[in-house]
Amino acid sequence: MKILSSKSKQILSKLTFIAFKHQIEEMLEEKDELVIALCGGRSIPEFYVELGKNFSDLPYDKLQFFLLDERVEELKRNSDLIKEYILHPALANASDDEQTEIMSRFHFMDVILDKHKDFAEVIMRYNELLERFSPDLSFDIIIASSGLDSHVGAIYPEHDLIYSKQAGFGHLFDAPTPPLDRITLLPKSFINSKKAFLFFIDKEKKKSYDVFMNSEGDYYECPSLMLKKEGNYIVTNIIK
């Protein structure tokens, strides 16, 4: 694994954007288009600011962006985070044609909900949309953040959903922490995805960082281990 580290969140975000851009360029040498999952959460905004500010430096006409997870009670929460820090800055200096192209590259769950007022329908439609770009329902790149208990997306330790053998997105009705109702990428799609940037930000994540770095077992007790494989990136400001 590759570790990107700095005590400065600003420097860390710049380092991560450089690595993210390089990874995209490298992967596009082998395929025409990449599918990328973006998480929400408090650990990620600084990187998203950097991503939004430099979005025009990416070959965005060859990228498709999806959410990694979302809170059902606040179905626009992660969408709004991504729109505020990435999409709106990316659109600010773009021409009308560029704006249309950029907007077509982001796929949000709340847009589907506006048409289909049933969450099972939202998940089905979102999976169908992902399948258009990725037949096995995996991602080329995942942006994820580890929780205090090592959960990623809404995949929690020893929770029923972690044993799912399905791919794509699923519905979690009883998350260990509020809100209880969530939509998340499922373990099979985490594991089958090609590359990941996994964030451990601030000292409260030190325990989950240490568990991740020192564990080699299965992911049922430590879901972040789904992303522990050669070539993935650890992004952290936790430095001894």
Residue 227 identity (one-letter amino acid):
L
Number of H helices, E strands in the chain: 9, 10
- What pLDDT band is residue 115 in, cutting at 50, 70 and 90? low
Residue bearing the bigger pLDDT, 217 or 8: 8
Per-residue pLDDT at 124 exceeds 60: yes
9-68: per-residue pLDDT in tens?
999 999 999 999 999 999 999 999 999 999 988 889 999 999 999 999 999 999 999 999
Average pLDDT for 60-82: 85
Fold of 2-182: Rossmann fold (3.40.50)
CA distance 100 to 155: 34
Q: Which residues pair with 168 in a beta bridge?
A: none
What pLDDT shows up at residue 186?
A: 98
With cut-offs at 50, 70 and 90, classify the pLDDT of residue 75.
Answer: low
Confidence of residue 114 (pLDDT cuts 50, 70, 90): low
Domain ranges of the chain: 2-182
Quickly state the pLDDT bin for 215 (edges 50, 70, 90): confident
What does the pLDDT read at residue 99? 96
Residue 228 has what pLDDT? Answer: 96
Residue 100: its pLDDT value, please?
A: 96
169-172: strand order across its sheet: 69-71, 182-185, 169-172
What average pLDDT does this structure show over 120-125?
A: 86
The 10s digit of each residue's pLDDT in 102-111 is 999 999 987 6
pLDDT at residue 179, as a whole number = 78
What pLDDT score was predicted for residue 80? 87
205: pLDDT strictly greater than 90: yes
pLDDT higher than threshold 60 for residue 136: yes
Using CA atoms, how far residue 93 sits from 25, 81, 83, 107, in Å, is 23, 19, 15, 21
Q: Where are the beta strands (DSSP E) in the chain?
A: 2-5, 34-38, 63-67, 69-71, 106-107, 141-145, 169-172, 182-185, 195-200, 233-236
Reported as a pLDDT band with limits 50, 70 and 90, residue 113 is low
Distance CA(10)–CA(49), nearest Å, equals 10
pTM of the model: 0.94
Mean pLDDT on 182-207: 96
Residues 161/170, Cβ–Cβ less than 8 Å: yes
What backbone phi and psi angles, to 5 degrees, belong to 168? 90, -145
Distance between CA 144 and CA 130 in Å, rounded?
Answer: 18
